[in-house]
Amino acid sequence: MTENVKQILAGYFKLTPSEQSDFQKALKDDEALSGLKKIQNRETFNESIKRATGPSAQNRCAVCGR
């Protein structure tokens, strides 16, 4: 298991059961998509994260570097 997977899994374990269910649904929904729809879905998600977190020059995600 890579360090990235370990970090994601550690975060998942900190979620409430309801949040874990939401996460699982989002993951299944993404896995069901293909091609352009998958790309558009991920771009929409990334944009919503940017709006929610705002600019963060110093606070970068340890997993993706954003």
**Confidence bin at 63 (pLDDT 50/70/90):** low
CB distance 12 to 63 below 8 Å: no
User: Count of CB atoms within 10 A of residue 4's CB?
Assistant: 11
Q: What is the pLDDT of residues 14-57, one digit of tens each?
A: 999 999 999 999 999 989 999 999 999 889 988 888 777 766 55
Structure confidence at residue 12 (pLDDT)? 93
Asked if the model's pLDDT at residue 65 lies above 70, the reply is no
Structure confidence at residue 2 (pLDDT)? 92
Alpha-helix runs per DSSP H in 1-66: 3-13, 17-32, 35-53
